[in-house]
């Protein structure tokens, strides 16, 4: 995976609960997408969620920052319960960063403006300070020299790293990744994964929907396997990959690791 050995010194799971999901259910019309999902995420955990397409894994993490609304059960993020209260939703969203499959950068703004927009308007940070923070995180994802270009001028991998930097500029406590490498060419996947690994090394709480099993083995402390809207199996990565319990998991793993 990464060329250097992964530094696990700061990857500590604390006792503090970051996300608590209790008996959560969601329907799209009549279709039952998420069924009785229960999950506790502790601070500092790095969770990889995998499963066949349509299993509800993206929907699950999109419920955590209320891009999708759940219809039953409870989601508590960082002590705030997600209800229809807009104040709570905006509070949770400003503390939970999200990285999308298709980057979703703002094409009419420069890279720097993409990164400073939310800090300036949501956090009310002075422009200069926001720009310093943005440059800091852009250096961290190794593209400070692109700050004044527009997203359309960057490669997919660079755009995704900007998207990560944009989220980090809000100093989030939790990061959600929704298939961050699925839309990328193979050679660009690595640069994005490296960025995610260094984020994990700093102790960020991360939930990643991804099919990058190498990343799961290297960084995750827990792998969650979903099918038909429910959690089928979860375990630490070594056990999960070497000794899967359910037949559905075995079938899935044989299909994605089979060749």
Partner 1 sequence: MTNFTPFVRSEMIDPREPPSGQQGLVRWARENLFSSPANSVLTVLGGLAILWLLMGIVPWLMHSVWNAASLSECNAIIAQTWGPDATGACWAMVRERWHQYTYGFYPMDQYWRPNLAFVLMLVALAPVLFLSLPRKMMLFSLSFPFIAYWLLWGGTIWAPIVVALGFGVMALVFRFASPKLGVPVGAGVGLLAAAAWWLLVQTPLSTALHSAIPLGLREVDSDQFGGFLLSIVIGITAISASLPLGILLALGRQSDMLLVKSLSVGFIEFIRGVPLITLLFTASLLLQYFLPPETNFDIILRVIILVTLFAAAYIAEVIRGGLAALPRGQYEAADALGLDYWQAQRLIIMPQALKISIPGIVSSFIGLFKDTTLVAFVGLMDPLKGITAVVRADINWKGIYWEPYIFAGAIFFLICFGMSRYSMWLERKLKTDHR
Say whether residue 90 binds partner 1 (CB under 8 A). Answer: yes
Nearest distance in Å: CB 164, partner 1: 13
Least separation in angstroms between residue 38's CB and partner 1 is 24
Strands 46-50 and 31-42: unpaired
Instruction: State whether residue 229 is helix, strand or coil.
Output: coil
Q: Binding to partner 1 by residue 146, rule CB under 8 A? A: no
CA pseudo-torsion sign 61, 66, 67, 69: positive
Residue 185 buriedness (CB in 10 A; 0-12 / 13-18 / 19+):
exposed
Cβ–Cβ under 8 Å, residues 143 and 162: yes
Q: Which of residues 46-75 bind partner 1 (CB under 8 A)?
A: 65, 67
Determine if 121 is a binding residue for partner 1 (CB under 8 A).
yes
The least CB distance from residue 161 to partner 1, in Å, is: 15
* Count of residues making up the chain: 259
Task: Give the contacts of 242 (CB within 8 A, at least 6 positions apart).
Answer: none
Among 23, 106, 132, 148, binds partner 1 (CB under 8 A): 106
Which residues within the stretch 162-221 sit at the binding site for partner 1 (CB under 8 A)?
166-167, 170
Alpha-carbon span 133 to 157, nearest angstrom:
21
Stretch that binds partner 1, among 6-14, 86-94, 127-135, 192-200 (CB under 8 A): 86-94
Residue 147 makes contact with partner 1 by CB under 8 A: no
Residue ranges binding partner 1 (CB under 8 A): 65, 67, 86, 90-91, 93-94, 96-98, 100, 102, 104-108, 117-118, 121-122, 150, 152-153, 166-167, 170
């Amino acid at each position: 995976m990464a060329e250097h050995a992964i530094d696990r010194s700061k990857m500590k799971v604390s006792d503090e609960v970051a996300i608590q999901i209790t008996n959560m259910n969601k329907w799209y019309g009549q279709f039952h997408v998420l069924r009785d999902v229960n999950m506790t995420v502790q601070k500092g955990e790095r969770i990889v969620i995998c499963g066949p397409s349509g299993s509800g894994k993206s929907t699950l993490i999109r419920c955590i920052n209320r891009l999708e609304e759940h219809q039953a059960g409870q989601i508590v993020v960082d002590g705030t319960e997600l209800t229809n209260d807009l104040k709570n939703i905006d509070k949770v969203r400003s503390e939970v960063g999200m990285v999308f499959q298709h980057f979703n950068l703002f094409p009419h703004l420069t890279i720097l403006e993409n990164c400073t927009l939310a800090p300036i308007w949501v956090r009310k940070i002075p422009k200069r300070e926001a720009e310093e923070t943005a440059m800091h995180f852009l250096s961290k994802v190794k593209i400070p020299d692109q700050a004044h270009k527009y997203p359309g001028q960057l490669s997919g991998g660079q755009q995704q790293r900007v998207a990560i930097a944009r989220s980090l500029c809000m100093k989030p406590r939790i990061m959600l990744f929704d298939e961050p490498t699925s839309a990328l060419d193979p050679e660009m996947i690595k640069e994005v994964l490296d960025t995610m690994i260094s984020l994990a090394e700093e102790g960020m709480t991360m939930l990643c929907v991804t099919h990058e099993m190498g990343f799961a083995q290297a960084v995750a402390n827990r792998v969650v396997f979903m099918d038909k809207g429910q959690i089928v199996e979860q375990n630490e990565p070594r056990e999960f990959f070497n000794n899967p319990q359910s037949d559905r998991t075995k079938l899935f793993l044989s299909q994605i690791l089979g060749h």
